Amino acid sequence: MNSVAPPIRALIVDDSAVVRKALADALAQDPQIQVVGTAPDPYAAREKILELHPDVLTLDIEMPRMDGLTFLRILQQHYPIPVVVVSSLTQSGSRAALAALEAGAVDVVGKPSSAWSIGHLGPQLIQKVKAAAAARLRRPLLPAASVPPARLSALTHRAGHPWQVILLGASTGGTEAIKAVLTRLPAALPPILIVQHIPPVFSRAFAERLAQSCAFEVREAQHGEPLRPGLALLAPGDYHMRLSLSAGQLRVLLDQSPPVHHTRPAVGPLFNSAASTVGRHATAVLLTGMGSDGAEGMERIKRAGGVTIAQNEETCVVFGMPRAAIQRRAVDHVVPLQQIPEAILRALQQPRTPGEQRPVTPALPTAGPTTA
């Protein structure tokens, strides 16, 4: 007889009574989540945490008496608990939210501007709270020197086919994973296209932060712009990004077609479009994230002769998306996060033969959640 899992116990921390009620109403739509309490500031939240022992915290950044970022850092040190940051859709709010992700928050959502907008936020918030409840908080340290620079230099990319592209897809825990990969890659690589499940405005701040620490240009993608070596483009929040090939020129296309796996941008549209445009010239990487977004597209890329790489379970915050791709036998290489830059560079050197049948990563057992 199958036992029913207890609901996820959520505590909402926000100084606005209107927002607290809106978030509570949104989470109440899902029977698998129980809002056990709310708090107007970190001091009240501390008492509620000790009393109620929630599984997940939703946390505002801008609050009186103590800001959310300071409270988050204290929590991570003394009382680790999965945190979903709820931040204003402004540039300052976006920067604070990214700092919170660096400090250990699991995910971020944009704060509703009014009670009526909660209908749009609700499904996203539910998904992120569920992902946070499944997150691995005690992540292994990933030292910057885990792959010696000399080895990466020895693998420096040599110009190959003009249609070569590198694709990265991620969700929960992905901002830090993407940063860990991109900051270890050298300049002059083929174009890099990135999809991270992230709200509007936050994506621009994320691209700007990456640009400060990468050896190549990183920015938000613009509709119709051409790809070129040494350029990494991030899908803007609320827009799917696809790859197009016309008259020998690769371009990115942005659209607001319906969400895929409850999210926009989603990894699937990018991976699927790459499979049908550049095929074997794609190197696709699937990083940490809840659900199965990107798994089907990765399978199509592998069938077309491209090289596919997935982050291993031990270094994932949530091993949902990589697991789903592995279960489809769509992954060539499963490696720890700190080894993915080297795996990408080796993949770029690998000959791509049409119709080549390469060994695949054995499929995992089907137990465990793989759908969003």
Q: Is the pLDDT of residue 314 over 70?
A: yes
Do 8-133 and 150-349 share a fold?
Answer: yes
Count the residues in the chain: 372
The whole-number pLDDT of residue 356 equals 59
Question: Which residue among the candidates 14, 41, 55, 293 is catalytic per the annotation?
Answer: 293
Give the CA distances from residue 181 to residues 146, 173, 212, 215, 337, in Å, rounded to whole numbers and listed in that order. Answer: 12, 13, 14, 12, 7
The model's pTM is 0.88
197 among known catalytic residues: yes
In this prediction, residue 122 has a pLDDT band, given cuts at 50, 70 and 90, of confident
State the pLDDT at residue 150. Answer: 36
pLDDT of amino acid 262 = 84
Provide the pLDDT for residue 163. 87
**How do strand 217-220 and strand 231-234 relate by DSSP bridges?**
parallel
Q: Are 303 and 271 in contact (CB under 8 A)?
A: no
Closest listed residue to residue 228, CA positions, set 273, 181, 275, 193:
193
Q: Which amino acid is at 6?
A: P
Rounded Cα–Cα distance for residues 355 and 303 (Å):
8
Name the band, by pLDDT with cuts 50, 70 and 90, for residue 10. very high
Asked whether 134 and 290 are in contact (CB, 8 A), the reply is yes
Q: Is the separation of the CB atoms in 302 and 332 below 8 Å?
A: yes
Q: How far apart are the first and last CA of the chain?
A: 25
How far is Cα 294 from Cα 322, in angstroms, rounded to an integer?
Answer: 9
Examine the residue annotation and report whether 171 is marked as an active-site residue of this protein.
yes
For residue 232, the surrounding DSSP H or E stretch is strand 231-234
Q: Where are the domains of the chain?
A: 8-133, 150-349
- Using CB atoms within 10 Å of the CB of residue 366, give its burial: 0 to 12 exposed, 13 to 18 middle, 19+ buried: exposed
CATH T-level assignment (fold) for domain 150-349:
Rossmann fold (3.40.50)
Residue 65 scores a pLDDT above 90: no
Q: Is the pLDDT of residue 123 over 90?
A: no
Write down the CATH superfamily of domain 8-133.
Answer: Response regulator (3.40.50.2300)
Cα–Cα distance list, 367 to 7, 229, 360 (Å): 20, 41, 20
Is 293 an annotated catalytic residue?
yes
Digit-coded pLDDT (tens) for 223-254: 999 999 999 999 999 999 999 998 889 999 99
Instruction: Give the model confidence (pLDDT) of 157-182 as tens digits.
Output: 555 677 899 999 999 999 999 999 99
Percent of the chain having pLDDT more than 90?
71
Single out the catalytic residue among 171, 203, 273, 292.
171
Q: What is the pLDDT of residues 255-276, one digit of tens each?
A: 999 999 889 999 999 999 999 9
C-beta separation of 234 from 206 below 8 A: yes
* Residue of 55, 87, 88, 197 marked active site: 197
Name the average pLDDT for the chain: 87
